[in-house]
Amino acid sequence: MIRHPIAILVLLTGLNLLNYLDRLIVAAVLPKITDELKLSNLVGGLLATIFLLGYFVASPVFGSLGDRRARKGLIALGVALWSIATFASGLATTAGGLLVARAFVGIGEASYATIAPTIIDDVTPPEKKGRWLAVFYVASPVGAALGYLVGGFIEKHWGWRTAFFVAGGPGLLLAATCLLIDEPPRKVMKEKINLLQSALVLVKIPLYRRAVLGYCAYTAAIGAFSHWAPTFLYRRYALGLSTANFFFGLITVLAGAAGTAIGGAWADRAQAGLPRADTAKPPEGEAPYRDESPERQGERIDRAEVVRNKLAVNVLLRVCAIGAAVGAPLAALCFLSPAPKAFFGVAAVCEVFLFLSTSPINAVILRAVPPQLRASAMALSIFAIHLFGDLWSPALVGLLADHLPVAIAMMALPAFIALSAFLWWPRAREAT
């Protein structure tokens, strides 16, 4: 049995890395898939959309099952399912077969992504929860980059189908290993949460609403960019697919890590000296929120505290807006670059600025709402950014690329980034 918390963390982090590798392997070999199966760019974009649809449908199901049944078995089932579906992707001979396989990859990954963090939270010492979850989630950009690197390398030497076979194989072994986890006792919530009622309150909070809307536009751009970048390099510059994947993957992991670190440090510094306030201004006509913390239970929050909290949220939104405002023209410059070296040079700087918002935007989502609604605020934001963001943007870019030069089709992405900067930029009227 696997009982040591660090061993459980290592296993689940390794699976998270493999999770994102499987997810991005399609983008790495997409030009070869579309050429061999004679797919339109729209269908190529739908490969990302169908994955997210499977993910959406299955996430609440696995979340509910995870509250009532043994979690390690559900994780093992999900890992095995996504691994088999990834392997099956390499056997597809039609667009329909490939779309079905990618839908099942999304269903399998939904089990893992929904349940694995709860086990890590249960086994982590209280004083280390932030660091251990950071270790778990850093596997996301690293795994995504490996999807490009591994996919490009294998495709060059053995073809695109083999890339899916290699990506799907390790998951079956690790799925069996998950069954050896000595699962910790579950933590059961004492109260049921009315998600619809919480959502209706959240959407009436202006700062939260703008933060999520901006995040939707941002996610639309990032999702389409990650899906189409290797194809763009392959078609616009006639760059070898393995070369395109190698350099884009390398830039993604380095710039992503740098931008995330800089954004987090900038956000901490920007908030230095600002008070912690545990409420947000209620919608017009409603009573003020009350702080439910034990030491201040039922105490009315005065307007000064509300104002201070809104100032803190605006400081964080400004960091996000600056990153997007600088990133938008740089993204446009990427797609208009006359040579691949210019693209990679500009893309490296662009991605640093785009990843600045990773930490601050999540802090905004938590701080802009009353404390009793923070979990609901995070859940609603995740649902929204995918439904209104990267669920449809890869397909939209594909549709544009069917009728326009690929460089022009990709120009939709800087427009989305600019929209996120506009939505995130603080409004003076919301600071008081």
DSSP β-bridge partners for residue 290: 300
d(CA 12, CA 78): 13
Answer whether 1-183 and 194-432 agree in fold. Answer: yes
What topology is assigned to 1-183 in CATH? Growth Hormone; Chain: A; (1.20.1250)
pLDDT at 130: 53
pTM: 0.81
pLDDT at 170: 86
| Residue ranges for the chain with pLDDT beneath 70 | 63-64, 67, 126-131, 133-134, 186-195, 271-309, 371-372, 374-375, 379, 428-432
* pLDDT tens-digit map of 287-330: 444 444 444 444 444 555 566 667 778 888 999 999 999 999 99
pLDDT at 292: 43
Amino acid at 203: V
Domain boundaries, the chain: 1-183, 194-432
What topology is assigned to 194-432 in CATH? Growth Hormone; Chain: A; (1.20.1250)
pLDDT at 273: 57
pLDDT at 278: 44
pLDDT at 277: 42
Q: Tokens at residue 105, please?
A: 């990859």
pLDDT at 296: 45
pLDDT at 303: 55
pLDDT at 283: 42
d(CA 302, CA 370): 14
